[in-house]
Structure 1
Amino acid sequence: MEGDISPITSMAAAHNSFLSRKLSGMVAGMRQAEGASGRMTILRTAAVARTPNAALASVGVFWGAFAALVPDIKAGIAATDADFGFAMMAAAIGGIAAMAIAPWLMARLGRFGLPATGIVFALAFFYPLLPRGSFGFGLAMVAVGASVSLLDIAANMRLSVLEERHSRHLMNFSHAMFSFAFAASAFAASLGRKAGYGPAEVLPVIAIVALVLAALMWESRGWTDAAPAPEGSDRGTPWVPILLTAGVLLASFVSENATETWSALHIERTLGGPAGEGGFGPVAFGVTMGIGRLLGQVAAARLGEAALILWSAVIGVAGALVIAAAPVPAIAVAGVGLLGIGVAVVVPSANSILGRLVRPDQRAHAISRAWMVGFTGFFVGPSAMGLIAEYAGLRIAFLTIALVMAAIVPLVLAVKRRGG
């Protein structure tokens, strides 16, 4: 490799240059469109959602580094594909528990909720470094799942309140901060791997970034939560919109984290990419997700969230099929990027739809319960991929992801019929 640039590296550089030009033109177009219609500018959107932006970026920093380091982490605990998948599933246990208590905890912590959870979250970067076997890694992932989920759901509950308060769609922009942070972190970790550094050297350094982001999560003294329920209103839980939204979230999270976790291994093991260059898969995924979400900030206002999700699901199916059929690493990276565009707007747009279908006082509870079901896909996805890869290979695993993305279509149509 010395003195030479591999095809996948050249492709990634050209791809990133193309994306940069597109992003510049897109942002200019967004500014022009928003100025003409009187809508909030991008800078104003960033300012209004400052604290959840920092929280979601922190989550992206963790998962980006983790995704790029998966080949080393997996080898370090001597796990089979199935064992690694089951260990990842253990994170769902911690995640569900954290989401169950999130509305209660955030209500009591008030404006200190996000920075407090952000500081605790920085410890999660060290948990994968402690175990030496699959069982211990599974226990570590329980703690990771709890830390990640608490900060993630707290940020989304804050966003839902801010959307109602400012009468603006904020979800896609804030989730774009996750994606760009994911891409940057995955790229940095990939460079670290190519330079010969492993998880024990990379993760502690990136944990410092999470601490800096936690400092940006402080709420102003004037922060107030959602308005209480009107006198005499129904106190029941609106389960139908919650469960429909949960199904959409589940399919999206399965596709998203399965791709984040296994794409690097697919590129290096199945397609023979050099060590370290598998990380270009997660990088492409994060970059295209971020761009897709910024585009979604404008498209949601023009198409509506439901139509936006429908078209995105179709693109996601196409991306998964490209990954499954890719003959060389460069094609797989392109497929990963296409899948990133497909899943980009699904979760934030579904959050916005659910926020409109319930009362303001129900939002925190509704979002937390939808995510308790849906976010399990964030951990079930890698686990299921591990089982499929163990017995049928990663090509069949990504073909399965295409079917999962296709399941979003009927669910969104059902949500739309309810006024979403």
Structure 2
Amino acid sequence: MASRKNGSDSVVGALTISKEESSPRRARLANSIIFGILGAVFATWAVRIPAVSSALSLSEGDIGIALLGLATGSIIGLVASGILVSHYGGRHVIRGGLAVYSLTLVIIALADGLAMLVGILLVFGFGKGLIDVAANAQGVRIEQSYSGQIMGSFHALFSGGGLVGAGLGAVATSLDLSVQTHFMLVGASFLTIGVVASLWLFPKDPDTDTGPTVTLPSRKLIGFCAIGFCALFIEGVGNDWSAVFLETSAHASATIAALGFAAFSLTMMVGRFLADWIVDWVGPTQFIRLTAAVAATGVAVTLLAHPVLSLIGFGILGLGLAGIMPVALSLAGNFDPDSPTEPAIAAVSTAGYAGFAVGPVAIGLIAETTSLRTAFVPALGLAVLIVVFSGIVPTITRAPRDSETTA
């Protein structure tokens, strides 16, 4: 063992790491960093949307079209990542995705019009999709080395990364840094950190196909799919429109506008850390109903269009949305003891990403003909639909494995 480490590992020590050194604890730390970077880079773009929009003289409808390019690229990246992970392993795909994601962030500021911005965001979203599936595949493998569930912590750290990115964005705007300088500093820094962290990720398992299974949803899954669609549609309110709403509709300063995404990300992170405990306490169906009501309250407070109140509203919205999608995925994957888990989770995930793609565009188009405040109103109706669909989804009949939390 010693000779192996002193031999091959010493030659490529700067680029790789031996399987023996890829311990579950180190892999968990590395994957946590990757999730954090995934959220931080996205937040960096999100909080500077108003500045990019102003520089290119984009309307709210134009912003919706640009966000459609990002969502489309993300979906393409998700599909491609599933294929690439099964062939090359998650560690290599994460490295490639980091390069695409971070470097494309740097060139967003070079866009000279809507068409070019859509093209750049398509590639930016593609890189995000590559990392998304690969990091989740790593998370599944890492979790198998632990006695309990840990996937929630990865997703919470995505929100934590969003908080960091939003905070850096607020600092950048307060220092009057240009978008290009801001994006260059963030892109280069997180690319370096991510590549170094990837050294501790698990290498490809030659005996396991980690690619996702995609299938059309069965009738029993329709309710879960509807919940996923509605939840991620509403999430677009906080992810893509918080900064724009605060600056244009609530007349907040650019710094306060950047903090809207920070408030949303902070409460999303806290809510995801707490979700498993609350589900144990009240049950999954009641949890979805209660949190959907909280999300609706957040939208309502945001619609008051006052800088402070809207900032609080985005925080409430994040807290409400935090656990809905993870709990829906858990329910969908466990309700039928005679069916495999993966196709169910894939179906609900696909429906959710459809909502994530449609939401920002729909909000932009409605805002173009009315106002951004009016465009947020349908999110209230979707929150009500989540409550309705939570009452018709099947209950869990599959017995939980040892050391796992029953949902």
- Distance in structure 2 (CA, Å) of the matches to 1:208 and 1:359: 47
Deviations 1:140-170 (A, max 9, x none): 1211221112211222343345556645332
The 3 A distance-change label for structure 1 pair 222 and 264 is closer
Indicate the residue corresponding to 1:151 in structure 2.
131
Indicate the residue corresponding to 1:89 in structure 2.
68
- Distance in structure 2 (CA, Å) of the matches to 1:45 and 1:292: 25
Listed as ranges, the matches of 1:202-221 within 5 Å are 202-211=182-191, 212-218=193-199
The 3 A distance-change label for structure 1 pair 95 and 196 is same
Question: TM-score, normalization: structure 1?
Answer: 0.78
Whether the aligned pair in 2 keeps the contact of 1:252 and 1:343 (CA below 8 Å) is yes
Structure 1 residue 324 displacement after superposition: 0.9
Structure 1 residue 340 displacement after superposition: 0.7
Residue 359 of structure 2 is aligned with which of 373, 381, 386?
381
- Distance in structure 1 (CA, Å) of the matches to 2:339 and 2:200: 20
Q: What amino acid is the match of 2:275?
A: G
Structure 1 residue 321 displacement after superposition: 0.7
- Distance in structure 2 (CA, Å) of the matches to 1:163 and 1:171: 7
Whether the aligned pair in 2 keeps the contact of 1:173 and 1:297 (CA below 8 Å) is no
Listed as ranges, the matches of 1:42-57 within 5 Å are 49-57=28-36
Name whichever of 248-257 and 46-55 sits farther off. Answer: 46-55
Listed as ranges, the matches of 1:164-179 within 5 Å are 166=146, 168-179=148-159
- Distance in structure 1 (CA, Å) of the matches to 2:251 and 2:160: 27
Identity among equivalent positions (%) equals 22
The 3 A distance-change label for structure 1 pair 377 and 338 is same
Does 2:392 match 1:414?
A: yes
Three-state SS of the structure 2 residue aligned to 1:168 is: coil
Structure 1 residue 392 displacement after superposition: 1.9
Structure 1 residue 294 displacement after superposition: 1.3
Q: What amino acid is the match of 1:338?
A: I
Indicate the residue corresponding to 2:14 in structure 1.
none
- Distance in structure 1 (CA, Å) of the matches to 2:188 and 2:214: 43
- Distance in structure 1 (CA, Å) of the matches to 2:38 and 2:44: 10
The 3 A distance-change label for structure 1 pair 47 and 356 is farther
The 3 A distance-change label for structure 1 pair 363 and 51 is farther
Deviations 1:387-419 (A, max 9, x none): 122222122122222222222223333334365
Indicate the residue corresponding to 1:267 in structure 2.
246
Alignment gaps of 5+ in structure 1: 1-43, 230-234
Three-state SS of the structure 2 residue aligned to 1:57 is: helix
Indicate the residue corresponding to 2:291 in structure 1.
312
Aligned length: 371
The 3 A distance-change label for structure 1 pair 135 and 407 is same
Whether the aligned pair in 1 keeps the contact of 2:89 and 2:203 (CA below 8 Å) is no
Whether the aligned pair in 2 keeps the contact of 1:89 and 1:382 (CA below 8 Å) is yes
Q: Which has the higher helix share?
A: 1
Listed as ranges, the matches of 1:49-88 within 5 Å are 49-88=28-67
Name whichever of 355-364 and 379-388 sits farther off. Answer: 355-364
The 3 A distance-change label for structure 1 pair 305 and 387 is same
Name whichever of 351-360 and 189-198 sits farther off. Answer: 351-360
Indicate the residue corresponding to 1:17 in structure 2.
none
Name whichever of 191-200 and 165-174 sits farther off. Answer: 165-174
Whether the aligned pair in 2 keeps the contact of 1:323 and 1:331 (CA below 8 Å) is yes
Indicate the residue corresponding to 1:12 in structure 2.
none
- Distance in structure 1 (CA, Å) of the matches to 2:233 and 2:27: 30
Does 2:270 match 1:291?
A: yes
Does 2:194 match 1:253?
A: no
The 3 A distance-change label for structure 1 pair 397 and 226 is farther
Question: TM-score, normalization: structure 2?
Answer: 0.81
Structure 1 residue 369 displacement after superposition: 4.4
Name whichever of 150-159 and 130-139 sits farther off. Answer: 150-159
Structure 1 residue 202 displacement after superposition: 0.7
Structure 1 residue 279 displacement after superposition: 1.0
- Distance in structure 2 (CA, Å) of the matches to 1:142 and 1:360: 39
Whether the aligned pair in 2 keeps the contact of 1:124 and 1:144 (CA below 8 Å) is yes
Deviations 1:231-258 (A, max 9, x none): xxxx994722665433322222221122
Name whichever of 248-257 and 287-296 sits farther off. Answer: 248-257
